[in-house]
Chains A and B, each alone.
Chain A
């Protein structure tokens, strides 16, 4: 046991901190809440990856735009927050479809590298446009869910917001699953994501299907943004920080798996909160997330739920 004690000593862990059940639970709940927000942006990234095979770095920015619209509608125009968020989701879907049509579709789909730069450029344009229009003052957006906590356990509180965030993410995954597996549009989407050329040959209109994927992704991302913002404050660089954790979550879960995005998001949220608290690594929040992903990817190179690529020679 002296060995264990000295190892723990390196990380500045005291045993009573480890045995503090309330602290565990409190951090567990916070991890779930953070994780739900990462998961929803990760879901959007996965949707784009499934349809186009690349990472849309502007995903966070489209969400940022949506959240600012939600802010204008709810705080300035006085609409209920939930209604404002739904309107913002619709608006950012429209922007995403426009972006897909104007900036993305002219490129040959198998040539992803220039597209990555285009989405990076888009990230800069949208983020600075938001800064130009709304300035850099921080604002607060009210949550869609009531405040307060139905379950309390000392300092550990399971708040309505945490429950709401988790519920929203699971509902989104459920609806997406139904949409993709039970509807004609979903079938077309899956055909395009499985093989674009074959899908075109059997008469699926590939362009509108991809546009539909982008719209869906932007809506999900905006919803995710609306979940994040009440915890942090609304300012133009907020989604950039979320984006890094969501990218990590998507890689962890497997880039082409919706379930993986949710599990990955929750895992990153939990890893971040628990490891940081108990190993006293506040400066290393991101580094711990990276270490977790590295280990997982070494064991499973395509993430936890990603499908392995089979190559024909």
Chain B
């Protein structure tokens, strides 16, 4: 591929290219739920793999979870392996508020965000003293504790104990949302349209509505976090990550910014928990144990720590790579059936392979490709 001409940053052509990029992204984001409303299931080398809208919605919630982890670990460098604790707390808080007080899902964010922020700040206090891998191991142990806290007899009648909580409020699309009609129009488009069903069933409509709701919440989260990390706070956090003493010497208040980073990280994690509850309508203690903690850190590193794109790539990776690994039922290309936990083995191999192939994470790889194809010349400030 031949690279396009070099474009100056901030120039009109650069701006136009950015707008086109975002418009393409928006178009794909709007089209996809209709395209896979009937589960898309390609057969590759003899194995049938599914891409369901449900998986995609869940991966959006996971993207936000990784985004939160990114603030504490990716930007300010505090190794936190216990992020699933915040996600789980958010999910349970939403579940209890919706079930017992009949709040709407989005209204629970009014409690989840400040509540988890405060909780994260508390969590960040020990992190002022405990650093590096010690902090990582401590937070990992905290993550492993979460399911047993949920199962405690004292709270089990609220949290449902081991059985989890089924949420009795459905997310039904409002009558004004033209989802069914949109599907009809898209179906009429020749070519691509044949993949879109002509009109949606009630279930499909609900799934598409949930998807758009989650995308909306996720976009707000990404936008807010982008503003935080691109500004004064973000620069302070990165300075702490790169050199703590240097940051302190330059007037960064280490204690304030580290606890703040845990607070924001936990708040975003809590929102991700709310999103997961919205998506599945169910919370169970074992979903938020140490396996999720591990998955989130894997997503962060595979996607690319300290980048916003990385959270998107990581969320997709930790949703779909395990999903597809478990769907590999026969040795690719042959009829030899794989029986037993081959899915997990494939998953382990893929994680090792991905992190060997993309040492800086997918975001850095993406950035390199983009710089090769569409080079942008940075402009000195003030010119």
Contacts and interface: CB of A to CB of B under 8 A. Distances in A.
Interface of A: 49, 54-55, 103, 106-107, 111, 113-114, 116-118, 120-129, 131-132, 135, 244, 247-248, 250-251, 255, 283-287, 289-290, 293-294, 297-298, 301-303, 306, 309, 311, 313
The 7 closest A-B pairs by CB, nearest first: A124-B348, A121-B352, A121-B351, A125-B348, A128-B344, A128-B341, A128-B345
Given A55-B137, A125-B348, 7 more contacts: A118-B356, A120-B294, A121-B355, A125-B345, A126-B348, A131-B341, A286-B144
B254 interface: no
11 contacts: A106-B356, A114-B301, A114-B359, A118-B355, A124-B345, A250-B137, A289-B141, A290-B142, A297-B129, A297-B138, A298-B129
Nearest to B146: A287
A244 B356 contact: no
A41 to B, nearest CB: 14
A131 B145 contact: no
Interface of B: 126, 129-134, 136-138, 140-142, 144-145, 148-149, 151-153, 245-246, 290, 294, 297-298, 301-302, 305, 340-345, 347-356, 359
B248 to A, nearest CB: 10
A128 B348 contact: yes
| Interface residues of B, dominant DSSP | helix
Given A131-B340, A298-B129, A248 B141 contact: yes
Nearest to B294: A120
Contact of B145 (A122, A255, A286): A286
Contacts of B294: 120
A311 B355 CA distance: 30
Contact of A244 (B290, B302, B353): B290
A121 B344 CA distance: 9
A103 B114 CA distance: 43
A301 B148 contact: no
Contact of A255 (B134, B297, B344): B134
A303 B138 CA distance: 11
A287 B349 contact: no
Given A124-B345, A132-B345, A283-B152, A301 B134 contact: yes
B301 A132 contact: no
A290 B139 CA distance: 9
* Chain A contact residues, majority secondary structure: helix
Contact of B301 (A106, A113, A255): A113
A124 B129 contact: no
B298 A132 contact: no
B137 A302 contact: no
A303 B134 contact: yes
Given A107-B359, A297-B138, A121 B349 contact: yes
Nearest to B348: A124
Nearest to B81: A116
Contacts of A283: 148, 151-153
Of A54, A116, A285, chain B has the most CB atoms within 10 Å of the CB of: A116
A132 B298 CA distance: 24
Contacts of B131: 301
Contacts of B246: 313
A284 B155 CA distance: 14
Contacts of B129: 297-298, 301
Contact of A290 (B145, B301, B354): B145
A96 to B, nearest CB: 15
A133 B341 CA distance: 10
Nearest to A240: B290
B137 A247 contact: yes
B359 to A, nearest CB: 5
A61 B69 CA distance: 27
Contact of B148 (A54, A106, A286, A298): A286
B341 A132 contact: yes
B138 A117 contact: no
A239 B139 CA distance: 20
B363 to A, nearest CB: 13
Given A54-B133, A248-B141, A255-B134, A132 B342 contact: yes
Nearest to B359: A114
Nearest to B142: A290
A104 to B, nearest CB: 10
B348 A286 contact: no
A125 B349 contact: yes
